[in-house]
Structure 1
Amino acid sequence: MAGPPFELPLSRWRAEVDAADRAMLAHCHGPALDVGCGPGRMTTALLRRGTPALGIDVSPRAVASTRARGGLAVVRDVFDPVPWEGHWRTFLLADGNIGIGGDPARLLDRARRILRPGGQVLAEVAPPEVRTRTYRLRLDVDGRLTGPFDWAVVGAAGLGELAVKAGFVLTRLDVVAGRWFARLRRGGG
């Protein structure tokens, strides 16, 4: 069953970081793992400011774009082994990437295992009035449909409970230019 199409902010993802992105990155400490890095605007912005960062994405095209911008990136699924597991200080989920895999609880559990004790997740989430929900999506990229994949949208109101269940504490929630950003702190164990 197909749902109505909706637009994704592809032009923003392909552009340089904007003021809202910079506000999110101001809380990002290295080494940082940019999960679902896409064309690499966040990874390269971190590197330009001297923050060690690595982008990962399942798309070879996205990784190539990140590298072309001067970023470091590898083709990798976050649910597979990642470089330097257990030592990352920041697990970056920009652009709603907390929805990767369609199961935010599973993704946050994975983040907890990838981060070092005391590490953090920085995540862009939906506004509080949006309920957390899972979708089965296909993207139209330049007139070609991708294979179907699971994705979730996480509203800010439900994030605290989700975080606690995964071993995190919601420590900050900011709104910048209409976009919602959360900081989750990993427990020590």
Structure 2
Amino acid sequence: MTARLTEPAGRSWRAEPYAEALRAGRGPLYLRRGDGRLLPLEVERWCADADEADDTVLARCSGSVLDVGCGPGRLVAALTRLGRPALGVDVTPEAVSRTLRAGGSALCRSVFDPLPSEGRWDTVLLIDGNIGIGGDPGRLLRRTAALAAPEGSLLVEVAPAEVDERVEVHVEDGGGGHGSPFWWARLGTRALCAEAEAAGWTPSVSWQAAGRHFVHLRR
């Protein structure tokens, strides 16, 4: 069943306190679930340079790269420094601005908006939990399949636990500031692979680095 958004998720990510955390380059920042549980967001890591785990992702990127939900753009900037064609897409203007300041290229759009070079991207990225975008992984995986080249790849960061959930959340800063509710998803490796195969992707390899978990999918 497709999750229905309480409010367009893009509007929630554009609003404070997420944009303010990106401007400051630090948290604390959380996704608060309806059951009260807090999911920490790693703003400091996102705003830093690519780290050891990110390097394992960058090493698997081939050809042109589209980073969906690029945030402040550390991966796009790293690819650009390597001389690789890369574009970030994010709904938050501050994220796009930080990506541009870091030397990368980015557009302020949703992944579901029309995008450049649809059907021709060699590698698509869904890192930092971005398989959760929209709360409907099947729809997101079908969309990335339409964006990728016929022999393209999708690199996905998954939850370290074997979870498969769609939850209503809002962004919260721990000091009373919070955004509007929207739907988000969390998938572990098994759940991702099941959803991916139904969307036209074939699991290739999974790996771990610095406590983070990733899956490489192919068209």
TM-score (structure 2 length as normaliser): 0.81
Is 2:169 aligned against 1:137?
yes
Given that residues 171 and 178 in structure 2 are in contact (C-alpha distance below 8 angstroms), is that contact kept between their aligned partners in structure 1?
A: yes
Rounded Cα–Cα distance in structure 1 between residues aligned with 2:37 and 2:135: 18
Structure 2 runs not aligned, ≥5 long? 1-33
Tell me the equivalent position of 2:143: 110
Given that residues 124 and 154 in structure 2 are in contact (C-alpha distance below 8 angstroms), is that contact kept between their aligned partners in structure 1?
A: yes
**Secondary structure of 1:6 counterpart:** strand
2:110 corresponds, among 77, 87, 90, to: 77
Rounded Cα–Cα distance in structure 2 between residues aligned with 1:183 and 1:21: 14
1:27 corresponds, among 60, 65, 84, to: 60
The residue type paired with residue 36 of structure 2 is G
User: What's the CA shift for 1:174?
Assistant: 0.4
Given that residues 93 and 108 in structure 2 are in contact (C-alpha distance below 8 angstroms), is that contact kept between their aligned partners in structure 1?
A: yes
User: What's the CA shift for 1:2?
Assistant: 4.9
User: What's the CA shift for 1:84?
Assistant: 1.0
User: What's the CA shift for 1:54?
Assistant: 0.3
Rounded Cα–Cα distance in structure 1 between residues aligned with 2:180 and 2:82: 36
The residue type paired with residue 126 of structure 1 is A
TM-score (structure 1 length as normaliser): 0.93
How big is the alpha-carbon RMSD for the aligned residues of Structure 1 and Structure 2? 1.4
Distance change >3 Å, CA 63–CA 103, structure 1 → 2: same
Tell me the equivalent position of 1:172: 205
**Secondary structure of 2:134 counterpart:** coil
Identify the range of structure 1 (97-106 vs 146-155) with the bigger mean alpha-carbon deviation: 146-155
Distance change >3 Å, CA 167–CA 57, structure 1 → 2: same
User: What's the CA shift for 1:130?
Assistant: 2.6
Correspondence 1:16-165 to 2 at 5 A = 16-127=49-160, 129-141=161-173, 144-165=177-198
- Percent pairwise identity: 48
Is 2:43 aligned against 1:10?
yes
Q: Once superposed, which parts of structure 1, at least 4 consecutive aligned residues long, lie more than 2 Å away? A: 140-144
The residue type paired with residue 148 of structure 1 is P
